[in-house]
Amino acid sequence: MVRTAAAISGRYSRRRVELPQRRFCGSQHATWAGGQWTTMELTKLTEEEFDRFRTFIYGKTGIRMADGKITLLSNRIRRRLRDLGIDSFEDYYHQLTRDRLPGELEQFIDAITTNETHFFRTGGHFDWFSGAFLPELLNRAAEKKHDRSLRVWSAACSSGEELYTLAICIDEMLHRFGGWRISLLGSDISETMITAAKRGVFPDRSLEHVSAERRRKYFTHLPDENGWAIRPRLVQMCEFQRHNLLDPIAAPRQDCIFIRNVFIYFDRESKQRAVRNLIDALAPGGFLVVGPADGIYDLLGDLEKQSIFLYKKPL
Ligand SMILES: C[S@@+](CC[C@H](N)C(=O)[O-])C[C@H]1O[C@@H](n2cnc3c(N)ncnc32)[C@H](O)[C@@H]1O
């Protein structure tokens, strides 16, 4: 719906010299042009616009937005329009897909992805990592069946809590890893999440499952930021990079890959593509740790099932 703002707010037109070019209020969006304010109702994407955006999203990320997500996607894109001062979903689509907005693809991907995570999420996975995986690897190295090297990848790590949890588990046994080469890699499609992970400052709610003892040992409380900074020693143990799971990763083969809570919005084809890349990235004898709702159990080919969340690549 388009209507002149003069009809809505004479106040704006009388003081026009001092006014900015654009104004936003709720889902309304006003632009000063031709001597008057024009407002547009940025309600919802049309079905056609929704289809175009979701085809674009699928091609870039593998995420398939379900039919019922039109309101969710409209709300998220509307925020980008407001930040950029763009008047219509259609205009934004054209500028985005024709690469006319530098850096916007990253912002757009940030806006549409869900980054929920926290330390020690699904604690049983970390009990296995500390209680079985690390001790077995130490034994295999002692028997000269494995190098004194450990490579772990948190694929789709969001703001880094998953990888830092693994770093804590390793640090708690670090005295047994003298002389080892340890590589901890975290990756995510979202540049904003990677920047946050590198910074290593987390809100209270991220630490809900972190014991008081671990808080004392591994975090510094930052009352001004209402958050917790992970100790620099752990930041130095971890490397973070932007990576799309639909592409193969350029990294040495991994002893263990955590891939959790990411495939919920992928369809079968994009899951298949990403899972193939993950299996290729695993070293023989390496383990894949899978999230409870990721729905990839039937795509894991030759991997041997160890338990509901754990799959091993044959030696
Ligand atoms: C809900 S978080 C899961 C974080 C962590 N693995 C956990 O379980 O707590 C899902 C993450 O997957 C990322 N993601 C979505 N599509 C991706 C893709 N194609 N490649 C890499 N990361 C992707 C999102 O940016 C988001 O940070």
Specify the CATH number for the domain of residue 231.
3.40.50.150
Please tell me the predicted confidence (pLDDT) of residue 265.
Answer: 83
Q: Are residues 105 and 175 in the same domain?
A: no
Residue 132 belongs to domain spanning: 123-312
Please tell me the predicted confidence (pLDDT) of residue 100.
Answer: 86
| Pick from 57, 59, 63: nearest CA to 45 | 57
Q: Are residues 194 and 265 in the same domain?
A: yes
The verdict on residue 117 lying in a domain is no
What is the CB neighbour count within 10 angstroms for residue 247? 11
Output the residue whose Cα is nearest ligand 1's atom 9: 117
Q: Are residues 26 and 47 in the same domain?
A: yes
Q: Are residues 159 and 34 in the same domain?
A: no
The verdict on residue 118 lying in a domain is no
**CA angle 51–57–59, rounded 5-degree value:** 105
Q: Are residues 32 and 152 in the same domain?
A: no
pLDDT (tens digit, 9 = 90+) per residue, 60-101?
A: 999 998 888 999 999 999 999 999 999 899 999 999 999 888
pLDDT (tens digit, 9 = 90+) per residue, 209-230?
A: 999 999 999 999 999 888 999 9
CB 243, CB 273: distance < 8 Å:
no
* Averaged pLDDT of the chain: 88
The verdict on residue 290 lying in a domain is yes
Output the residue whose Cα is nearest ligand 1's atom 3: 261
Catalogue the E-assigned strands of the chain.
2-4, 22-25, 28-33, 36-41, 149-155, 181-188, 201-203, 219-222, 227-230, 238-242, 254-259, 282-290, 304-307, 310-312
Ligand 1 center to residue 190 CA distance, Å? Answer: 8
Q: Are residues 139 and 88 in the same domain?
A: no
Output the residue whose Cα is nearest ligand 1's atom 17: 189
**β 304-307/310-312 pair status:** antiparallel
Ranking 77-81, 141-145, 150-154, 240-244 by mean pLDDT, the lowest is 77-81
Atom of ligand 1 nearest to the CA of 246: 19
Of 78, 112, 146, the last residue of a domain is 112
Ligand 1, residues at Cβ distance < 6 Å: 61-63, 113-117, 121, 156-158, 162, 188-190, 193, 244-246, 260-262, 291
User: How many domains does the structure of the chain reveal?
Assistant: 2
The verdict on residue 203 lying in a domain is yes
pTM summary value: 0.86
Q: Are residues 187 and 164 in the same domain?
A: yes
